[in-house]
Structure 1
Amino acid sequence: MSLAVLKSRALAGMEAPAVSVEVHLARGLPSFTIVGLPDTEVRESKDRVRAALQNAGFEIPSRRITVNLAPADLPKESARFDLPIALGILAASEQIPGDRLDLYEYAGELSLSGQLRPIRGALAMTFAMHRRSQGEPRAFILPLANAGEAALVPKAHIYPAQSLLEVCSHFAARGGDCLLQRHHPQASLDQVKSHADFADVKGQLHAKRALEVAAAGRHSALLVGPPGAGKTMLASRFVGLLPPMSDDEALESAAIHSLAGGFTASQWKRRPFRSPHHTTSGVALVGGGSVPRPGEVSLAHFGVLFLDELPEFDRRVLEVLRQPLESGTITISRAARQADFPARFHLIAAMNPCPCGYLGHPSNKCHCTTDAVLRYQDRISGPLLDRIDIQVEVPAMPPSSLSAQADGESSAVISQRVLRAFELQLARQGKANEGLTTREVDEHCCLDSTGADILRNAMLRLHWSARAYHRVLKVARTIADLAGEAQVGAAHVGEAIQFRRGLREL
């Protein structure tokens, strides 16, 4: 047999399209050619494969070797095709049997000694194989380091290997210890992970209540206050209030981290908390590159994106948040390709009220001019601020509160209320309140006459936009859900209005 065909996967955003690795041996001067739109990493595979085969004790056929990665119009990147290329050469030269090659898909980078190194996106490839398979999906042969994440896909048949020799022994043997063994996910992955407790935060009842509402309805929030008021402390404990991740959410979040090459088994069903520095670039925040990869907004999918010192971020960087805050997705377009990444995250931002940070502080030590305060706050554009549902002030703590014992509610108690409210939303509309469309807001957020008058007066006095109007209604709906009430009343609307006045008098 001079032709061997094996199956593998490429990566295109969150997708993992199938790739056929066709290896043909022909007469002629010895050569090694890879075609099918390979990038530099893939073209370099021929040198890694040649050395790996020689060091594993196999012969390099003295023939014209042509490797075609089909479809030809799909860009191929990374070294994941090393393993199927090496196996294809061995099967085409009849050094290993090729009768069972079609039962598996393959991915893995080869070292020069023939060892298998971990690859990026193993979970995304396994997930795509099962989602798109017609009938019974193939099993997947992967490096041992990637087996744990790939086996998280339900009913996936993962066969890990440490070297090329182990894979070849699997096909050469008909039974016994030489066969690769199926890998199963660890049972310990279902254990509950602990987070920092909200009970550690002294005082700040208004800010705690605002974050409870934000967690229950998946709303974004902005905390405004002087240094040391507890903004970062509150934000770091926010993830402990969120409902447990479902299996589908955990799988989608893990697939994104697998694409970035940063997934570990300890992250399973643990909501991500991302806190990029204010020097972060726009590409790092939303994703990009010549080969598009997920950014911080996608890595925070189903978790928390915390932006501390919000005005210190470059304004153009902050503006890229406007689309994902509305749609929950981010589209990265390049001349040669386009990639879509999910980005449904909780945005929690924190900022000082002025350049020195002490505007409104009881010590009266702020000497910033009015123009300086306005210039500082104007670093955040109106359209972005309009998309943040909850904006609350976090005042400085008096010394008497700091010396007292912490007696607030724990994260476990608050999270139970959040979970009940979230379950009400799922039963009523099948989604969180933050994702309600305009028509769904009219259906599920109906106000009585008193509540409508309060909101109308607030709109006129504070000059809110139509977007702000609908976002206040969604927050009021969440407050009513936390109270277990079907009707959105005047008290709920009044509290929602107070949660959108963080910069009111600063």
Structure 2
Amino acid sequence: MSLAVLKSRALAGMHAPEVTVEVHLANGLPSFTIVGLPETEVKEAKDRVRAALQNACFEFPARRITVNLAPADLPKESGRFDLPIALGILAASGQMPADDLDKYEFAGELSLSGELRPIRGALAMTYAMYRAGDAAGRRRGFILPGANADEAALVRDAAIFPAGSLLQVCSHFAARDGDAKLVRHRPAAQAAAPAYPDFAEVKGQAQARRALEVAAAGGHSVLMVGPPGTGKSMLAARFPGILPPMTDEEALESAAVQSLSGSFSAARWKTRPYRAPHHTASAVALVGGGGTPRPGEISLAHRGVLFLDELPEFDRKVLEVLREPLESGHITISRAARQADFPARFQLIAAMNPCPCGYQGHGSGRCRCTPDQVARYQDKISGPLLDRIDMQILVGALPHEELLRQADGEPSAAIAERVNGAFEKQVRRQGKGNHALSTAEIDAHCKPDAGGEQLLRAAMARLNWSARAYHRVLKVARTIADLAGDKTVMQPHVAEAVQYRRALREH
């Protein structure tokens, strides 16, 4: 047999399209050619595969070897095609049986010794393979490096066969007894409950803690404004611990994005992501991109928290790219030759100082910033972006005497119980969190009583709110009512929601 055909997977954004690896041996001067739009990492597979075969005591054919990665118009990147290429050469040259190759898909990078190294995107590839079963319900097994087994096994009922080396894979197809066969990987035991920093460690700041509870219950974005050292970063770090537990579907989505970046760990299964990029981050680092598009920070924070500290210190052009994902929950990265779509349903928590020196309004009176300096500093955050942030709260400095007298705060578990109860009400009522309500759904579920309507109209006229700001205040008020256990949005709920829009500047 001079032709072998195997199946593998490429990565295109969150998708993992099937790739057919065709290996043909022909007479002629010895050569090794890979076609099918391979990128540099795939072209380098020639040297890795040659060395791996020789060090595994196989014969490397002195023939004209052509490897075709189909479809030809789909770019192929990374070393995941090393394993199927090596197996194809062995099958085409008759050094291993080819009868059962069509029952499996293969992915794995080879070392020069023939060991299998982990790959990116194993979870996304496994999920795509599992969904691609034929009409009769038959699905292929997936042979991949052992280091990726726990990650791939998160796709329930997928047949995962981890291997440590090229020799183990060859033995699986050549052996007649079961001892040399690869063993199907069983999912690891359920990971322990996620461990987050506890709100009990935060002293004081009752108003900020209340605002974050409301934000967690309804999925609202928050901007915290206050002097240095008031606990803004500490509050943000503890915020994921009061969010509702992740569902299996949410956890799988989040893990798949992490897998694309090579940063997923099975030990963090069902743990809300918490991303805190430095303010020097570029727009590409934040939203994703590159020649071969990769997910950025907003996608790596999918179903979790994106914390932007020192918000005005970010480049303004970088911040502006957040406007669309905050609304849509996804980001589309377009290049001349390809397009990639990544999920980006994150919860934004931002923090900033009120002025350049940071001490405007501080009890020490040390701020000497002029009104023009303060205005220029705050104007680094554009009106359209600020309009999309649901809640804007003040985090003031506590006097030293009061700070020393403060007892430990309420633990995260107690806050999370209230948050989860309010969120479950939203799911039963409308099938989603309050932050995701459309205009028609806001009219149906967030209509305030007469007193609340009158207060909201007065606030809108005085503060010159946009229609977007008006709707966001209504959604926050709906969340406050859910926390209170009230079916109707009433005046006190609206009054509290209005206060969460006045921290930075009235607009």
- TM-score normalized with structure 2 length: 0.98
**Aligned position for 2:84:** 84
Aligned to 2:10: 10
**Which residue is equivalent to 2:363?**
362
Q: Please give the residue correspondences for 1:194-205 in structure 2 after superposition, counting only pairs within 5 Å.
A: 194-205=195-206
Equivalent in the alignment of 2:150: 148
Instruction: Provide the C-alpha distance between the structure 2 equivalents of 1:401 and 1:289, rounded to a whole number of angstroms.
Output: 50
Give the equivalent residue in structure 2 for 1:283. 284
Distance 1:116 1:368 in 2: 60
- Larger mean Cα displacement after TM superposition, 127-136 or 446-455: 127-136
Partner Cα distance (2:139, 2:419) in 1: 39
After superposition, residues 376-415 of structure 1 pair within 5 angstroms as 376-415=377-416
CA distance in structure 2 between the partners assigned to 1:286 and 1:267 by the alignment: 23
| CA contact 2:204–2:406 (8 Å) conserved in 1 | no
Q: Following superposition, which runs of at least 4 residues in structure 1 exceed 3 angstroms of deviation?
A: none
Alpha-carbon distance in structure 1 between the residues aligned to 2:417 and 2:458? 34
1:274 aligned residue: 275
* C-alpha distance in structure 2 between counterparts of 1:86 and 1:229, whole Å: 59
Distance in 1, Cα, partners of 2:190 & 2:448: 47
The CA deviation at 1:175 is: 2.1
Contact 1:202/1:401 (8 A) holds in 2: no
Whole-angstrom distance in 2 between the partners of 1:423 and 1:396:
35
Q: Which amino acid aligns with 2:338?
A: R
Q: Which amino acid aligns with 2:132?
A: R
CA contact (8 A) 1:201 1:406 kept: no
Q: Alpha-carbon deviation of 1:406? A: 2.3
Provide the alpha-carbon RMSD of the alignment.
Answer: 1.1
Q: Can you list the C-alpha shifts for 1:328-362, whole angstroms capped at 9, x where unaligned?
A: 00011011110000000110000000000000111
Residue aligning to 1:349: 350
Equivalent residue for 1:491?
A: 492
**What letter corresponds to residue 17 of structure 1 in structure 2?**
P
Question: Match for 1:172 among 171, 174, 198?
Answer: 174
**Most deviating of 172-181 and 491-500:** 172-181
Match of 1:450 in 2: 451
Q: Is the 8 A contact 1:200 1:406 kept in 2?
A: no
The one-letter amino acid paired with 1:148 is D
In structure 2, the residue corresponding to 1:25 is in which secondary structure? strand
Deviations 1:15-70 (A, max 9, x none): 00000001111121111111111111111111111111111111111211111100
Q: Secondary structure at the match of 1:187?
A: coil
Instruction: Check if 1:42 corresponds to 2:42.
Output: yes
Give the whole-Å Cα distance in 1 for the aligned partners of 2:40 and 2:204.
57
CA deviation after TM superposition for structure 1 residue 401, in Å: 2.3
User: Is the 2:32–2:65 contact (alpha carbons within 8 Å) kept by the matching residues of 1?
Assistant: yes
- The corresponding residue for 1:464 is 465
Cα shift at 1:419:
0.3
- Report the count of equivalent residues: 505
Distance 1:361 1:183 in 2: 59
**Counterpart residue type for residue 318 of structure 2:** V
| Counterpart Cα distance in 1 of 2:27 and 2:120 | 36
Q: In the alignment, is the contact (CA less than 8 A) between 2:329 and 2:345 conserved in 1?
A: yes
Q: Secondary structure at the match of 2:22?
A: strand
Aligned: 1:225 with 2:226: yes
Displacement of 1:77: 0.5
Matches within 5 A, 1:44-59: 44-59=44-59
User: Counterpart amino acid of 1:41?
Assistant: E
**For the residues of structure 1 that align with 2:131 and 2:250, how far apart are their CA atoms?**
15
Give the counterpart letter for 1:208 in structure 2.
Answer: R
Corresponding residue number in structure 1 for 2:160: 158
- Quick one: which amino acid aligns to residue 439 of structure 1? A
Report what 1:27 is aligned to.
27
CA distance in 1, matches of 2:173, 2:286: 45
How far the C-alpha of 1:477 sits from its partner, in A, is 0.6
Q: Flag structure 2 segments of 5+ consecutive residues without an equivalent.
A: none
